[in-house]
Homo-oligomer: A and B are copies of this chain.
Amino acid sequence: MIAVTAKTILGDCREALQELSDNSVDLIFTSPPYADQRSQTYGGIKPDQYVEWFTPIAAELLRVLKPDGTFVLNIKEKAQNGERHTYVLELILAMRKIGWLWTEEMIWHKKNCYPGKWPNRFRDSWERLLQFNKSRHFNMYQEEVMVPMGSWAEKRLQNLSETDKIRDNSKVGSGFGKNISNWIGKEKAYPTNVLQLATECSNKSHSAAFPESLPEWFIKLFTKEGNTVLDPFMGSGTTLKVAQRMKRNSVGIDILPQYYDMVNAAIQPTECYLFEKREEYAADNKKRSGTVRKRKHSELPQQAS
């Protein structure tokens, strides 16, 4: 039995982060408000001011992260005046100047991206997952995210959406083909730096910025049970919810009271022994006091070994 805590802080993360100790966090996973987006809820940062706004926050995050911890930043620049804006590129350069190491850039390929048609560009179906580190020797538990591949072709086809199958069939040399034979016999393979996940909108009260499987993947990869995960822009609290389910301590910060209240209601922000889903947790509340209950099969996404 591992006791995990979930802590929520209401406030601007530029100040709220000062509450956290140096070298106290194992993983920072966050998706800050994109420039000019969510102007109703957040300030709606101007693209030209984005680097200036985020850099001091990045400095605080550098302070609170453990030397062997990792910072994963989910972000995408917007198209403006016919061009992609450069603030994300400039942010990477600015963060290196204050001491961050830009270890890797992974791609989140969103299978169901926003529709639309324009004369000069196609739909944007990917976002950046920028990995920053404090030192070159950080914790990475690669085995935790290995993907199964016994009888690889069938598994691969199963995991693909119907759309993917259609499109792959219409292309030449699209990844199926003769190389399949190279994989048969292996049980598991390490993933690559491209993640293919759909955006899910399971949460009706709030449009989830990212699916639970996204923070889950990074929590598995960069932390162990009992470690601490931080999301300085927690929003609806997806990162915290997943961290708690995976028995990691979590800290979430948001400037908006409605998100703060929503997350508090959802995750029971005190020390707890939480393995149930929310509904079961509520229904089972009185019984929970001392006992660790069995977890239902559906609660944890199967790694399918």
A157 to B166, CA, bound (A): 8
- A1 / chain B contacts, CB cutoff of 8 Å: none
- A173-204: CB near B (< 8 Å → 1, else 0) gives 11111111100100000111110111010100
Contact A121 to B103, CB < 8 A, known contacts A165-B157, A211-B173: yes
- A125 / chain B contacts, CB cutoff of 8 Å: 192-194
A147-B167 in contact (CB<8A): yes
Most B-side CB within 10 Å, residue of A147, A171, A179? A171
A154-B163 in contact (CB<8A): yes
A196 to B192, CA, bound (A): 14
A198-B169 in contact (CB<8A): no
A178-B170 in contact (CB<8A): yes
Give A77's nearest chain B residue, CB to CB.
B105
State whether the Cβ of A209 lies closer than 8 Å to any Cβ in chain B: no
Most B-side CB within 10 Å, residue of A181, A194, A196? A194
- A140 / chain B contacts, CB cutoff of 8 Å: 119-120
- A196 / chain B contacts, CB cutoff of 8 Å: 167-168, 171, 174-175
A172-B213 in contact (CB<8A): yes
Give A106's nearest chain B residue, CB to CB.
B122
Contact A174 to B84, CB < 8 A, known contacts A191-B122, A193-B124: no
B86-A93 in contact (CB<8A): yes
- A118-144: CB near B (< 8 Å → 1, else 0) gives 011111111000000000101010100
The copy count of this chain in the complex is 2
What is the interface size of chain A, counting residues whose CB is below 8 A from a CB of the partner? 77
Chain A stretch 71-126: residues in CB contact (< 8 A) with chain B? 79, 81-84, 86, 89-90, 92-93, 96, 101-107, 109, 111-113, 117, 119-126
Contact A150 to B123, CB < 8 A, known contacts A83-B101, A179-B112, A197-B173: no
A102 to B84, CA, bound (A): 6
A200 to B111, CA, bound (A): 24
A102 to B149, CA, bound (A): 38
**The one of B103, B126, B157, B198 that contacts A173, using a Cβ cutoff of 8 Å:** B198
B150-A166 in contact (CB<8A): yes
A48 to B60, CA, bound (A): 29
B166-A142 in contact (CB<8A): no
Give A170's nearest chain B residue, CB to CB.
B180
A178 to B138, CA, bound (A): 39
State whether the Cβ of A298 lies closer than 8 Å to any Cβ in chain B: no
- A40 / chain B contacts, CB cutoff of 8 Å: none
- Distance in angstroms from A106 CB to nearest chain B CB is 8
B82-A103 in contact (CB<8A): yes
A96-B86 in contact (CB<8A): yes
